[in-house]
Amino acid sequence: MTGKGLVYLSGILLVLVAVVAIYIIAVNSFKKTKKYKMAYYFLLPTIMGMLIIHLLPILQAIWMSFLDVEKDTLTNYLTAPFVGFKNYYEVLFNKNSIIRNGLMYAIRNTFWYAVLVTAGQIIFGMIVALLVNREFKGRSIARTLLLFPWVVPTYVVGFLWGFMWLKNEGIINVILVDILHLLPSKPDWLNGPLTLWAIIIPTIWRFWPLSMLMLLAGLQNISKDVYESADIDGANAWQKFWHITVPLLKPVWAVLILFGMIYNVYSFNIVIMMFGNGGGFPGKYGDLLMTNIFRNAFIGMHFGIGAAASVILMIVMVILVIIWYKIFGESLTT
């Protein structure tokens, strides 16, 4: 390890020691916590892990967003010149800034992408969960096989679907037009407005098994007695679904919505692989925030500006999480 590396490592370790020390002192000082002191000690390894994996990089990114870290100053890294809110100005107000090239398109695309993918994977996951929740032969094999898309790496999904969307030879157009005759002509999925669908559909395909798995677990937790009572009261299938299944699954919806929104806003692999294996351009209908920031900020080595853009996005996401908690917080605790 180099000298610089050792300095960084020692810095990180000292911060961790300080945090652990504060944590232990806090646990010992508060009367209320004394009752569960042992439990807090057991939580310590997890808290340490979270600090290393999440908090330190976040703090580093926030600090970096106030620094002029770019190609000339990269070797200084976290000791690069302090520039205050200049990087935030570049992202938010300077129309000529390199980060703004196509940023508005990327924001629009990311919004629709996150909303539609999250909705799609939950709806599709729910339909399949209801189907495999019934008793039938080979149910466990079917459940296992249905998880298949979930185990395919996202970059492979992007690469393969890139082939499948091809206008003439692509399997999707062949099925839609040549075999099923559902459309009068073959649509152009990889150029123009349809590009957004070309990235939404594979993402739903990749992630719906997770939704299905969680919703299935939720369905199995609902007592059969509730449905039997509804039967006695003369409720039909739709009424049972709407008045029993949907409300009782609310905590699962809540978690899926949260995970879906966060994961999809930060989506990167599928898009980057589908359009030129990382070297191409998804176009103004396919570019997402992450691919935009990656191209404009990180390839161009404007790390400070990239960090500022990421911090702004993080703040937006925190606001969304607060709104989410206001809507779903109660259902989670009940």
Binding site for another protein (CB under 8 A): 1-2, 4-6, 9-10, 13-14, 17, 20-21, 24-25, 28, 71-72, 74-75, 77, 96, 98, 101-102, 162-163, 166-168, 188, 190-192, 274-281, 283-284, 295-296, 298-302
- State the Cα–Cα distance between residues 184 and 301, nearest whole angstrom: 46
The distance of closest approach from Cβ of residue 326 to another protein in the complex, given in angstroms and rounded to an integer, is 39
How far apart are CB 219 and another protein at their closest, in Å?
Answer: 41
In the 3-class helix/strand/coil scheme, how is the chain assigned residue by residue?
CCHHHHHHHHHHHHHHHHHHHHHHHHHHHCHHHHCCHHHHHHHHHHHHHHHHHHHHHHHHHHHHCCECCECCCCCCHHHCCECCCHHHHHHHCCCCCHHHCCHHHHHHHHHHHHHHHHHHHHHHHHHHHHHHCCCCCCHHHHHHHHCHHHHCCHHHHHHHHHHHCCCCCCHHHHHHHHHCCCCCCCCCCCCCCCHHHHHHHHHHHHHHHHHHHHHHHHHHHCCHHHHHHHHHCCCCHHHHHHHHHHHHCHHHHHHHHHHHHHHHHCCCHHHHHHCCCCCCCCCCCCCCHHHHHHHHHHHCCEHHHHHHHHHHHHHHHHHHHHHHHHHHHHHHHC
Q: Least distance to another protein from the beta carbon of 316, Å?
A: 23
Q: By C-beta, is 55 or 123 nearer to another protein?
A: 55
Nearer to another protein among residue 193 and residue 329 (C-beta): 193
Which is closer to another protein, CB of 1 or CB of 182? 1
Nearer to another protein, 55 or 332 (CB): 55
Nearer to another protein, 61 or 131 (CB): 61
Tell the smallest beta-carbon distance from residue 53 to another protein (Å): 19
Residue 39 beta carbon to another protein: minimum distance, rounded to whole angstroms: 16
Instruction: For the CB of residue 30, give the shortest distance to another protein in the complex, in Å.
Output: 13
Nearest to another protein of 209, 306 (CB atom): 306
**Residue 314 beta carbon to another protein: minimum distance, rounded to whole angstroms:** 21
The residue (of 215 and 271) whose beta carbon lies closer to another protein is 271
